[in-house]
Chain A
């Protein structure tokens, strides 16, 4: 005799040759337990029901029978109540929901990969840069009331902040160049309290710069792990931006190189598509900031962008599917090809 076995979320059903239910083994009434049993090919109850059926004289067992599955699913509500698994439809529905919550939780866990960290870190750096600009501007405005001349003399923001933190008022500055200007400055006098606030602002700017350094070091390490070849060719910053724009390595690895070439220039691309050829198509997106493109004459940039994008797409695929490091040889190859392009008339 042959039996059909059907796994459902409430347990395992056995049907005979005429597809009549002959036995049922319930799963425990716990969402998490059921979720793991749905993952397993032969859970405990599956083996138990087989033993029971063998005793009843069934010899062969069929698992994947579409017709039986459909039949059981159609009547599952009825069966659940008949076999006293649920006391009513309401309880059945709630359990169905519960089980699928667990199943989804497990799927989400396996879905999130390390490249989500790249995307988040990259976004954090972008936002941090904006914040740094706002804070720096305020710090310069504030201390500029006291020592306006310094604004033009010290263009590096971090250095500016460190000077405030180190010396406080302009009179205490020992740097000879600045001292000259400090002596007959047109700024107002600062009290101790004023200087205190200025140095808090400066402290924060320095802290933000430290955070940025930490984040970008971290991003570099992440990229070595997630996208070693891709970041070797593109550089950390561009690699991270491309991954972030594509939405992860899996998507990036499936993109044609022409899409990678234009990632980040969607606005210009759609303007071109809409205008039916009246405006020009963009040649590059985020990869425009790559040194190989930046340092080339304008008439060659488009061609180099195409080459770079094609190499990047290969690198992304190696990273995603094999992970073997071939960055150095790919880089060499890329540089040679760029040289050839630059030689062309």
Chain B
């Protein structure tokens, strides 16, 4: 099977499916398929379970995640998506994962232990003050996947504290969490207007049919 390259150096496609190079060969994280190709083991990045993968499938041109990056992940949950991020940033990269709920940590903690490049932080992303001393770096990329109506504010506040100047921010806007009553298109428009004050918008794509009413946005910090 041919391994196709994508715009992001460490993310590939095999037969149309998005894959990453397995950081710890031989282990699965959430029951995904492993494909071995010329002595390299790839993990299939399930588009139905992970939004960045869905976005890449839906034609996102620019996904800025690269090797050796330091990433702040807001809403890391049990680490399905984060495990692929961990593949991409590699052993010398680092992912700070913030999650408010203790329940998903049952899966996240063993994952962090195995991979060594995920820093789990049990905290509320609305209050970056609570974990500002845990995060000792300025990060290259902030990724946000949380279900709150104030997700835009949360993102901006975290970027102000932790994002490098000229760094990237990637988020999935959940229109149903922001306002169920308004039509999604209108919610997207309002969010983008707000975001444009702080970011340069590089790319955006809707996640249908993988996730309904979600807009995936890639941005660059103006500061």
User: Which residues of A come within 8 Å of B, CB atoms?
Assistant: 8, 69, 73-74, 76-77, 89-90, 93-94, 96-98, 100-101, 103-105, 107-108, 111-112, 270, 273-274
Contact = CB atoms under 8 A, between A and B. Distances in A.
B120 A101 contact: yes
Contact of B180 (A103, A112, A274): A274
B141 interface: no
A194 to B, nearest CB: 42
B94 A96 contact: yes
Contacts of A111: 102, 122
24 contacts: A8-B136, A73-B133, A73-B136, A90-B91, A90-B92, A93-B94, A94-B117, A96-B94, A96-B119, A97-B112, A97-B113, A100-B119, A100-B120, A100-B121, A101-B113, A103-B122, A104-B105, A104-B122, A108-B102, A108-B105, A111-B122, A112-B102, A273-B181, A274-B180
B109 interface: yes
A270 B109 contact: no
A262 to B, nearest CB: 15
B102 A93 contact: no
Interface residues of B, number: 21
Interface string B113-152: 1011111111000000000011010000000000000000
A69 B117 CA distance: 23
B96 to A, nearest CB: 9
A1 B154 CA distance: 42
A93 B116 contact: yes
A97 B116 contact: yes
Interface of B: 91-92, 94, 102, 105, 109, 112-113, 115-122, 133-134, 136, 180-181
Contacts of A89: 92
Contacts of B122: 103-104, 107-108, 111
Nearest to A111: B102
Contacts of B134: 100, 103
Contacts of B105: 104-105, 108
A89 B180 CA distance: 45
B113 A76 contact: no
Contacts of A100: 112, 119-121, 134
B180 A97 contact: no
Contacts of A69: 133
Nearest to A275: B181
Nearest to B91: A90
Contact of A97 (B92, B102, B119, B133): B119
Contact of A94 (B109, B116, B136, B181): B116
A77 B136 CA distance: 9
Nearest to A97: B119
By CB atoms of chain A within 10 A, which of B119, B121, B136 has the most? B136
Nearest to A93: B94
A112 B133 CA distance: 24
B116 A107 contact: no
B133 A107 contact: no
A324 B190 CA distance: 48
A69 B134 CA distance: 11
Given A107-B102, A108-B102, A108-B122, A101 B109 contact: yes
Contact of A101 (B102, B112, B117, B136): B112
A344 B33 CA distance: 68
